[in-house]
Amino acid sequence: MTSESATWSLERTWQVTTADGKPEQLATAERSRFRGVVMLGAAGAGKTTEAARLAGHERALGKCLRQCRLAEFADTSEELAGHLATLAEGANEQTIFYLDALDEAMMPERRRWLAIKHWIRKDLHGTGASIRITCRPAVWPSELSDVVSEFTGSESFSTAFLQPLDDSDIRVAAASFGIDPDAFLGQLDGARARSLAAQPLTLRMLMKLYQSECGLPDSLSELFERGIERLVADPQERRDIGTQSPIPTTAMIEAAERLACYAMLSGREAVCFEDDPPPNALSLHDLAATFTLEDLRAIGSCGICDSTFPASFRFGHRQFAEYLAGRRLARLPAHQARAFLASPDGWSRGVAGPLRETAAFAAMFNADLAEWLSSCDPDVVGLSDVADSGLRRQATLALLDRFRRAEMTDAQ
């Protein structure tokens, strides 16, 4: 998917908290003054895009960048530890490590954190290198902040929260789409959809729906339902020249739901057609019992996917897969869906970290899952469009209780 912030020329800001506890607003490039930066932001907020922008700035300064998308190298803690050790070889003061998607690795959270903690203390000790880590705030472990701060020195460490888009950002984005900014903002207010425009991914979907002149959705579930359908459907240009997919839109979405479940539950987000696929990708052999080659090629060429290489593709944004998988799991009996989504420590401990947004989407369509989350993992309900006011009240009270027991931090 196109990098929205880059396309719209937005200068995103971060609220940065340093060792003295005083927050300040900094642009993306200004964070290069810190050796250690933890970059936190909600799903779809643009963390990876802004990390890439910071990386480009630091590369231009002559730094040596070493990057790792943790979700692709973290099936086991041993695999992650081995990859990180290799990444650290020969590091020095000019080296900057970028660790992306800490929250998406499909392995128990504590093993993931411990692997990174040991890597920093053992392999990076004395190198003088810098480090940047992106993560969703709800699953960021405060103990890792302490480890990174200890490594870089507290005066050179900061926690940065990516700020949501404001009205001026929305105006710039709308104008770049050829949309009248005042009219668009007015319709957002009329549909009570202003909060949905706070993140680049959902803002882009809103603008596409606005251009279709069908009115704007007023909920996250409706936005994704209509947005996914529009992205999957063949554009007019393909229909005009007769190159549209032979698979109907409804069948394509159903197949994409099944593929999203494979991707989310296995932690392997790419699909590879090669004879010898990488270990972090789903192969044709893995999917042969469920999909035809025609199915996979059709999904890979539609608007919800990006072709990363000629022989592979992945969903254009992780939230597309989370929505599709969540909707599919919500149609299962609640006990089966809960078994797929639950933490490795058991369903009473809530949702597995990488599946939180998937569970939030599932709860929108399944009242029994919403009930489970409101008692066992209440902050996930806050990510959801659960309409039942009783469940939202129950979740809020459970969340407050976790704060009282110091089981959650203000960052989360």
Provide the CATH number for the domain around residue 22: 3.40.50.300
Structure tokens at 151: 């490594």
Helices 318-330 and 220-232 sit at what angle, rounded to 10 degrees? 110
**Domain final position from 218, 235, 261:** 218
- Give the angle 254-255-257 at the CA atoms, nearest 5°: 65
Q: Would you place residue 373 in the very low, low, confident or very high pLDDT band (cuts 50, 70, 90)? A: confident
H-helix segments, 267-343: 284-287, 293-300, 318-330, 334-341
Report how far residue 238's alpha carbon sits from residue 27's, in angstroms, rounded to the nearest whole number: 40
pLDDT, position 308: 64
pLDDT, position 175: 94
Q: Does residue 10 sit in the same domain as residue 101?
A: yes
In a domain, 132, yes or no: yes
Q: Which domain holds residue 291?
A: 246-320
**Domain final position from 266, 295, 320:** 320
In a domain, 238, yes or no: no
Of 255 and 280, the one with more pLDDT: 255
- The winner for highest mean pLDDT among 44-53, 276-285, 325-334 is 325-334
Given phi > 0 = left and psi -120 to 50 = alpha, else beta, which region is 111?
alpha
Q: Does residue 158 sit in the same domain as residue 105?
A: yes
Q: How many whole angstroms from its chain centre is CA 3?
A: 14
SS3 at position 202: helix
Q: Does residue 9 sit in the same domain as residue 152?
A: yes
In a domain, 241, yes or no: no
Structure tokens at 275: 């004879």
Q: Does residue 14 sit in the same domain as residue 141?
A: yes
Q: Does residue 341 sit in the same domain as residue 383?
A: yes
Structure tokens at 384: 């959801």
Contact 302/254 with Cβ under 8 angstroms?
no
In a domain, 212, yes or no: yes
Asked whether residue 282 carries a pLDDT value surpassing 70, the answer given is yes
Report how far residue 63's alpha carbon sits from residue 96's, in angstroms, rounded to the nearest whole number: 7
Which of 223-227, 289-293, 384-388 has the least mean pLDDT? 384-388
Q: Does residue 254 sit in the same domain as residue 379?
A: no
In a domain, 197, yes or no: yes
Q: Does residue 38 sit in the same domain as residue 150?
A: yes
Asked whether residue 403 carries a pLDDT value surpassing 80, the answer given is no
Q: Does residue 148 sit in the same domain as residue 62?
A: yes
Nearest to 362 by CA among 261, 254, 217, 228: 261
Asked whether residue 157 carries a pLDDT value surpassing 50, the answer given is yes
Q: Does residue 41 sit in the same domain as residue 186?
A: no
Contact 206/197 with Cβ under 8 angstroms?
yes
pLDDT, position 402: 66
Nearest to 315 by CA among 370, 352, 369, 357: 357
In a domain, 44, yes or no: yes
Q: Does residue 121 sit in the same domain as residue 14?
A: yes
Return mean pLDDT, the chain.
87
Structure-token match 């300064």, residue found:
61
pLDDT, position 381: 72
H-helix segments, 242-388: 249-266, 284-287, 293-300, 318-330, 334-341, 356-365, 367-376, 378-381
Segment (H or E) for 146: helix 142-152
Q: Does residue 121 sit in the same domain as residue 269?
A: no
Nearest to 301 by CA among 286, 287, 311, 288: 311
In a domain, 233, yes or no: no
Q: How many CA atoms lie within 13 A of 306 on its CB side?
A: 12
Question: Count of domains in the chain?
Answer: 4
- Give the angle 128-129-131 at the CA atoms, nearest 5°: 135
Q: What type of residue sits at position 192?
A: R
> Mind listing the pLDDT tens digit for each residue in 57-111?
999 999 999 998 887 765 677 888 888 999 999 999 999 999 998 888 777 777 8
Contact 203/210 with Cβ under 8 angstroms?
no
The whole model's pTM is what?
Answer: 0.85
Asked whether residue 2 carries a pLDDT value surpassing 50, the answer given is no
pLDDT, position 81: 86
Report how far residue 105's alpha carbon sits from residue 355's, in angstroms, rounded to the nearest whole number: 10
Segment (H or E) for 174: helix 167-176
β-partners of residue 17 are 23, 159
Q: Does residue 210 sit in the same domain as residue 285?
A: no
In a domain, 240, yes or no: no
pLDDT, position 1: 42
Report how far residue 315's alpha carbon sits from residue 282's, in angstroms, rounded to the nearest whole number: 13
**Domain final position from 265, 293, 320:** 320
H-helix segments, 1-76: 4-8, 47-60
